[in-house]
Amino acid sequence: MSQLKPRQVSDFLLSHGRPVVTLAEVAELLGVSEKAASAALVRLRRSGQMFSPQRGLYVAVPPQYRTWGAVPALDFIDPMMRVGGFAYYVALLSAAELHGAAHQRPQVFQVMVDRPLEDRDYGRVRVRFYQSRRVDELPTELRNSSSGQVRVATPAVTALDLCSRPRAGGGLSNVATVVGELAEEGLLAIDAVADLADRYPTASLRRLGWLLDFVDSGLDTDPLREVVEAGARGQSDHLLQPGGQRRGPRNQRWGILENADVEPDL
């Protein structure tokens, strides 16, 4: 039988580089039943040494985060999604931040998932979920976290997601800033964007093209424009600000009604 005491669980897990565990694994570590392990975990959660992002899943909290009531979402999102059976990737401003282009630190951690999931708050850590039926079809990159590796949207996916959901990106002006920074850092390739044309609405593609030209990104957007034109014959103009009023100057190059002012911070 293990000699590990319940109060030692968090520090033991952290020192062994396995901060995320299941109830069954805690029971095995302590050499007790799952019922007894659950009672021990309740005490550890109350003391801030552990927290549970998902039923049956527990995360050891390092001392520097114990006033948060959790750890950064990057360090638990992958096991949380795997336990819940969700396809996912880190998205929008959270992905942009990981690419070095968020401009300002996002106030929430944003995740794209393949089916509806309620937003979660864990102390100071706020996780927001957005649904897309194409999660599994879109390219991602793997980034390291304390619990393993995390799927993160590529720069092209990040830019198109932000253009699809500008409100989730802090508004069009902030999206323009992020898109401009991705381009400035050499992270955004027009060919990579054009390759995703069949997986995004025409409005998102047009909006991204317009923004790249507007911020003087230095990218040749003609290949994207050609793809958009080939797939958008007969479509009416799209709105720069989705959900806004259908009025404003028409941008002929992108088939966009400029119904909002955009002021990037570049």
In this structure, what CATH number is given to the domain that contains residue 38?
1.10.10.10
Q: Please say which residue of 24, 43, 65 terminates a domain.
A: 65
Tell whether 59 and 81 lie within a shared domain: no
Q: Where are the beta strands (DSSP E) in 196-262?
A: 238-239, 250-251, 256-257
From the centroid of its chain, how far is CA 1? 42
Neighbouring C-alpha atoms within 13 Å toward the C-beta of 233: 2
- The domain in which residue 38 lies consists of 6-65
Structure tokens of 214?
């507007």
40: tokens are: 């021990």
Tell me, yes or no, whether 58 lies in a domain: yes
Q: What is the mean pLDDT of each run of 10 residues along the chain (266 residues)?
A: 81 94 95 95 95 95 93 96 96 96 86 97 96 96 93 98 97 97 96 96 96 96 93 81 93 95 92
Which pLDDT score is estimated for 231? 75
Residues 112 and 61 in one domain: no
* pLDDT at 2 (0 to 100): 47
> Does residue 59 share a domain with residue 79?
no
Place of tokens 């996780």: 127
Does some domain include residue 1? no
The total domain count for the chain is 2
Do residues 121 and 16 share a domain? no
- 263 found inside a domain: no
**56 lies in the same domain as 82:** no
What's the pLDDT score for residue 228? 92
Are residues 134 and 152 in contact, defined by beta-carbon separation less than 8 angstroms?
Answer: no
Q: Is residue 265 one of the residues assigned to a domain? A: no
Same-domain check for residues 27 and 101: no
Same domain, 89 and 144: yes
Residue 124: the pLDDT is: 93
Instruction: Identify the pLDDT of residue 1.
Output: 43
What pLDDT is attached to residue 234? 63
- The predicted pLDDT at position 127 comes to 98
Short-list 203, 205, 211, CA closest to 192:
205
Q: Kindly state whether residues 31 and 10 are assigned to the same domain.
A: yes
Domain boundary among 21, 48, 65: 65
How many CA atoms does the CB half-sphere of 82 hold within 13 Å?
13
Asked if residue 216 belongs to a domain, the reply is yes
Mark whether 86 and 45 lie in a shared domain. no
Asked if residue 130 is part of any domain, the answer here is yes
Looking at the fold, whether 196 and 84 belong to one and the same domain comes out as: yes
Same domain, 55 and 124: no
Domain identity same for 145 and 251 = yes
* Boundary (domain end) residue, out of 65, 90, 114: 65
